[in-house]
Structure 1
Amino acid sequence: MNYSLFYFFNHLAGHFDWIDDLMEIFAQDIVWIMLAAMVFLWFTGNESNQKLVFYSFFSASVALLIASMVISPTINHARPFVEHQVLQLIPHAPDASFPSDHATLAFSIAFSVLLVKRKLGIWMLLLAVVTGISRIYVGVHYPGDIAGAIVLSFFISITVYKLNGFMDVIPLFFIRGYRNLTRRIFHS
């Protein structure tokens, strides 16, 4: 089933150059839009936004560490272009594919934001879904790689969200440090 779904999405590639170009951009660059939105939230100066940014990055960091240090080396699942004849639209190393790092980053941010800011979180979730689908379309991930990233990101984001009251001292330390630094820079 994993390969059948992969084949469905990847088989759509190669028919319309403009769609392929768009999917290549989505597969590689949507995460930058998401990160830019988080930077914007930080620079609003609003403490709740800054805590959200901290916890989103914390969730993404934990999820990516678990993915790259534990899950990926343990499962060591080959990428589609290693195992099959596929239309690969973007270059990628033939390393382990499960779970997708791009999708883990995108969904960790999306779920973290969704738990605090519903409207923005829905937009972030939409961007994460487009990232996941495009990674399949361009031939570098199976649907299972994206599903694994979604599950991992969801559980890490929920756990961090439930624990954030206990951990508030950490983001508040960074927020105060940032504010002190900006005061010194702009008032000297």
Structure 2
Amino acid sequence: MTARTLLAYDGSGIDGGLYTTVTHWAADAPNWLDQTVKAWSNVGLGLFALFMLWAWWQARTADSVVMARVLASPLVVVAAYLVNSVLKSLVHEVRPCQQIAGSVSLDPCPAVGDWSFPSNHTVIAFSAAVALWFAYRRLAQVALVAAVLMGASRVWVGVHYPHDVLIGMLVGVLVAIPLAMAAGRAAPLVERARGGALGPFLGAGPAVAVAQSR
């Protein structure tokens, strides 16, 4: 038996009962609620892209440390996603909607081989929120609430176990924190770039912005 075979597992023994409870709640919920959660689960990640776009727009008049952290936020998300992809490739957890007989899912169950653990959506959402925390905390607070709702929606629509979401949250947070903190060290590069061809994209920073407003 190979190491990969040993790592493949049936996650229903961890919290399959809770998964079943939540999906039964979804089955009994009003249709408008299910459709709202389903839409959020499927397209809600786009909101995090808008959060990062808004942060970039605001950072054009902020200091270079803030701009460096904002510019790094998409890279932080990519890094968290790659780490999560490695975990998925090592731990072959079958989707609960495939594993648990009689399970109810609002979304079509992903194909065999599209592994469940951890949740990509949750990793992306939490890594984006944490990356923004080091630039704009008020925005990040909204993003963290959205990330919690994203994770919960993945269980509600029936495509993930609760532990897939919990570990996805941890992966997103633990990868994002050191990278987001380190991103501020690129401030000198941003400062130099602001004086060059990328100036219109990066903004002038607070000193020039104040001077221009006088």
TM bracket, shorter-chain basis: 0.7 to 0.9
Change (3 A) 1:177 1:62: farther
Match of 1:14 among 27, 33, 36: 27
Change (3 A) 1:158 1:87: same
Q: What are structure 1's unaligned runs of at least 5 residues?
A: 184-188
Larger Rg: 2
Name the counterpart of 2:133: 114
Contact in 2 for aligned 1:114/1:122 (Cα 8 Å): yes
CA deviation profile, 1:28-57 (whole Å, cap 9, x unmatched): 122111211211222342355543332221
- How far does residue 182 in structure 1 lie from its aligned partner after superposition? 9.1
Q: TM-score, normalised by structure 1?
A: 0.85
Change (3 A) 1:170 1:6: farther
Q: Distance in 2 between matches of 1:179 and 1:63?
A: 29
Q: Distance in 1 between matches of 2:91 and 2:186?
A: 32
Residue identity in the other structure for 1:71: L
Larger mean Cα displacement after TM superposition, 16-25 or 90-99 = 90-99
Change (3 A) 1:147 1:174: farther
The yes-or-no answer on 1:5 pairing with 2:18 is: yes
The yes-or-no answer on 1:86 pairing with 2:100 is: no
Contact in 2 for aligned 1:104/1:150 (Cα 8 Å): yes
Q: Distance in 1 between matches of 2:16 and 2:174?
A: 25
Larger mean Cα displacement after TM superposition, 164-173 or 138-147 = 164-173
Residue pairs, 1:145-160, within 5 angstroms: 145-160=164-179
Name the counterpart of 2:153: 134
Q: What are structure 2's unaligned runs of at least 5 residues?
A: 1-13, 204-214
SS in 1 for 2:105: coil
Q: Distance in 2 between matches of 1:174 and 1:78?
A: 47
SS in 2 for 1:13: helix
Larger mean Cα displacement after TM superposition, 170-179 or 151-160 = 170-179
The count of corresponding residues between Structure 1 and Structure 2 is: 182
